[in-house]
Amino acid sequence: MISASWWTFLVAALKALPLVLQLVQQVKSAADARANQGVGYDQAVADGLKAASEQLAQSDAAVADAKARQSAHPNSDAGRDTEFRRD
């Protein structure tokens, strides 16, 4: 037969069980939040790199176009952007 001290321990353990389960749930929630934060950060970095790559491609295309226009008219300003002024 189980003694009174074991019954006391068993009752205390059963009373503490919801608190232990709540603690486990909070630890799991915190771990999930950290994992999702990492995924969100990685996605944001990937999106930023993609946008930067697209902008660099547009810039390279504009430079290539300007070089082609300027080389087609080497001795005149016809190949230059005459609307652009620094003054």
Q: Give 20-72 pLDDT, tens digit per residue.
A: 899 999 999 988 888 888 778 888 889 999 999 999 999 999 889 888 888 88
pLDDT of residue 87: 66
Cα 87 to Cα 76: distance, rounded to the nearest angstrom: 21
CA separation, residue 7 to residues 11, 18, 20, 29 (Å): 6, 18, 19, 33
70 contacts 80 by C-beta, under 8 angstroms: yes
79 contacts 70 by C-beta, under 8 angstroms: yes
The pTM is what? 0.51
Residue 46, Cβ neighbours under 10 Å: how many?
10
Rg for the chain, CA atoms, rounded: 34
**pLDDT, greater one: 69 or 81:** 69
